[in-house]
């Protein structure tokens, strides 16, 4: 059984047996024989541990249920550690003070990113452009869902250069951000947003006045 590093103790307590899983791309045969397949949708971190911020609530709960079932079948009550899984299986019932899954993290992050575009100067000077370029560079490396970050970096670095951040001013930056978001929408099979309306959605409020 894999050991849990002390700093991860509480987060992964009860799930030690799942840490034998290897990240996608690593040969299946390198997995230990006693590791069970992970529930569908669970994404692993680069170190092979389940990545909560890369995984939906539903898949994370399937993982904790699996861990709980396995630990109750292999441990005595006095030695089994508690698994902090919510009792309900309804994602909408997730308490607001739990760590974010990939969707909650994404929603908050898009709010920040589009709001940054909304607050961007109408015409940006070179320092402002450099600051934003630097932010996007580090953001795309540090975003906590690593699979999301990798794809975002790849999209920005398209060899044609067509997806480089457009930073001369608010209008083109807001549109670029909308296209970046639509790229993820397409990947996830979601409806694309009509970028003509990005400013009403994120800066001015809708023309029908419902945000006033």
Ligand X SMILES: Cc1cc2nc3c(=O)[nH]c(=O)nc-3n(C[C@H](O)[C@H](O)[C@H](O)COP(=O)(O)OP(=O)(O)OC[C@H]3O[C@@H](n4cnc5c(N)ncnc54)[C@H](O)[C@@H]3O)c2cc1C
In the list 188, 200, 204, 211, the residue contacting ligand X (rule: CB under 6 A) is: 188
Q: Which stretch binds ligand X (CB under 6 A): 74-82, 85-93, 120-128, 146-154?
A: 146-154
The CA-to-CA distance between both ends of the chain, in Å, stands at 57
Stretch of residues binding ligand X (CB under 6 A), selected from 34-42, 63-71, 72-80, 100-108: 100-108
Q: Is 208 left (phi over 0), alpha (psi -120 to 50) or beta?
A: alpha
Residue 109 lies near ligand X (rule: CB under 6 A): yes
Tell me if 13 sits within 8 A of 82, measured CB to CB.
yes
Could you say whether residue 181 binds ligand X (CB under 6 A)? yes
Establish if 155 lies at the interface with ligand X (CB under 6 A).
no
Site for ligand X in 113-142 (CB under 6 A): 114
Residue among 49 and 199 whose Cβ is closer to ligand X: 199
In whole angstroms, how far apart are CA 120 and each of 15, 24, 199? 44, 38, 12
* Cα 102 to Cα 57, 79, 115, 125, 210, distances in angstroms: 8, 32, 20, 34, 29
Q: Residue 44 pairs with which residues in a beta bridge?
A: 50
Q: Any contact of residue 172 with ligand X (CB under 6 A)?
A: no
Per CB under 6 A, the list member of 12, 60, 120, 152 interacting with ligand X is 152
For ligand X, the closer CB: 49 or 114: 114
**Quick check: 107 binds ligand X (CB under 6 A)?**
yes
Q: Does residue 60 interact with ligand X by CB under 6 A?
A: no
Stretch that binds ligand X, among 17-25, 61-69, 72-80, 180-188 (CB under 6 A): 180-188
Which residues contact ligand X by CB under 6 A? 102-103, 106-107, 109-110, 114, 143, 147-148, 151-152, 178, 181-182, 184-185, 188, 190, 193, 198, 201
């Amino acid at each position: 059984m894999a050991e849990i590093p002390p700093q991860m103790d509480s987060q992964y307590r009860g799930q030690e047996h799942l840490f034998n899983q290897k990240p996608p791309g690593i040969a299946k045969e390198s997995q230990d024989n006693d590791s069970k397949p992970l529930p569908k949708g669970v994404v692993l971190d680069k170190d092979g541990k389940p990545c909560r911020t890369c995984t939906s609530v539903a898949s994370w709960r399937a993982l904790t249920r699996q861990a709980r079932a396995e630990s109750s079948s292999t441990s005595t009550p006095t030695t089994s550690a508690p698994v902090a899984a919510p009792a309900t299986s309804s994602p909408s019932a997730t308490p607001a003070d739990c760590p974010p899954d990939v969707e909650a993290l994404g929603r908050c992050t898009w709010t920040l990113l589009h709001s940054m575009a909304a607050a961007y100067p109408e015409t940006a000077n070179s320092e402002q452009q450099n600051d934003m370029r630097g932010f996007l560079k580090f953001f795309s490396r540090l975003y906590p869902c690593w699979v999301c970050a990798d794809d975002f970096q790849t999209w920005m670095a398209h060899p044609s250069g067509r997806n480089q951040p457009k930073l001369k001013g608010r209008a083109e930056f807001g549109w670029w951000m909308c296209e970046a978001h639509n790229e993820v929408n397409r990947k996830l099979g979601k409806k694309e947003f009509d970028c003509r309306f990005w400013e009403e959605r994120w800066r001015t409020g809708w023309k029908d006045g419902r945000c006033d």
